[in-house]
Structure 1
């Protein structure tokens, strides 16, 4: 059995169909084992014998649309991939806080990795890099100006559309902890 995290895009916990109970129900109906949730923002952990990640992403996304009307996008990462990312310590000496967010933006499996980054870096963003194994951008966001979307995040959305999802570093750590406890 492989342990996975499904990182769901576009989840709004205030909507009735977006509750953790409803999301877990979809995964349980699909026959996955040891289904759990992390926070209320679309992070579902589970086990399965299935190893074809693109097929898992498609199956889960189709079920989310048909069962709950959620069409935001599904990105899957294994415990091994996420543990390796955490162990790489991409944010040495940095701390996630109210004004400075450490974030990881995951690309959907099968999406081509970047050939480069925007030429004009955003003053609100320090791009730490792109982790090839985890297929994830790592960045530090200056979040001291509420409501202002950094240009880098806009670039990610324009370049990859729904084939990405972003999590704070703290959330990635919580997901790994939950996966390891399964």
Structure 2
């Protein structure tokens, strides 16, 4: 059975020639993955392949990206079904993505051995709203309305979870899932 997947790549800088979408897509195609497409210019690659263990797929993709393009960052893979279930759960009811309500999804690479203990408001302008076990992600709303004060959310994520995570906006997750379904 062929399955749709999304690879969420860490540390992609589109200004770096080795990290441009066409180069990233070429690596996926060389691995024999099908219907490879990029979504935005920030390391979101969708593709189709026979159903398989996502951890092994992550490792295979990351090894190829490192070997062919020198990209040291992490690779997190989710199935289209996992992303669709996350979207269908409507974790941000009544909210829209904007400066005062910047909707984010923090994808964890590994499935926690125990339920994730969510932080008590890691920053006064950040509100963690829940954890989605299927997508292995927690969801947060960040208030970015004061351009002079940047919330400490990203620093907190790095300190708490290290480099085994990647953060996407809710809009990006919607676009990635939509591209898989197209």
TM range (shorter): over 0.9
Does 2:176 align with 1:175?
A: yes
SS of equivalent residue, structure 2 residue 163: helix
Q: Secondary structure at the match of 2:106?
A: strand
Which residue of structure 2 aligns with residue 116 of structure 1? Answer: 117
Aligned to 1:33: 34
* TM-score normalised by structure 1 residue count: 0.93
Contact 1:124 1:150 in 2 (8 A): yes
CA distance in 2, matches of 1:112, 1:148: 36
Counterpart of 2:50? 49
Count of aligned pairs between the two proteins? 181
Runs of at least 5 residues in structure 2 that lack an aligned partner in the other structure: none
Name the SS of the counterpart of 1:6 in structure 2: strand
Deviates more, 1:82-91 or 1:147-156: 147-156
**Deviation for aligned residue 1:170:** 0.4
TM-score with structure 2 length normalisation?
Answer: 0.93
RMSD value over aligned CA atoms?
A: 1.7
Question: What are the equivalent positions in structure 2 for 1:7-26 lying under 5 Å apart?
Answer: 7-26=8-27
The alpha carbon displacement at 1:161 in A equals 1.3
Q: What SS is found at the alignment partner of 1:130?
A: strand
Alignment deviations for residues 24-55 of structure 1 (CA, whole Å, 9 cap, x no partner): 00000000000000000000000111411100
Compare 76-85 and 110-119 and name the one that shifted more: 110-119
After superposing the two structures, state which structure 1 stretch, 30-39 or 118-127, moved more: 118-127
Q: What secondary structure, in the 3-state scheme, does the structure 2 residue paired with 1:162 have?
A: coil
- The match for 2:70 is 69
Tell me, which stretches of 5 or more residues in structure 1 are unaligned? none
Residue-by-residue CA offset, 1:123-144 (whole Å, 9 max, x unaligned): 1101111111111010001112
State the distance in 2 between where 1:100 and 1:128 align.
12
1:128-174 Cα shifts (integer Å, max 9, x gaps): 11111111010001112347553443232122211100000000000
Tell me the alpha carbon deviations over residues 66-119 of structure 1, each in whole angstroms, 9 at most, x when there is no partner. 111111100000000000000000000000013421000101134546542334
Cα distance in 2 for partners of 1:78, 1:60 equals 15
Matched residue, 1:88: 89
Distance in 1 between residues matched to 2:28 and 2:148, nearest whole Å? 33
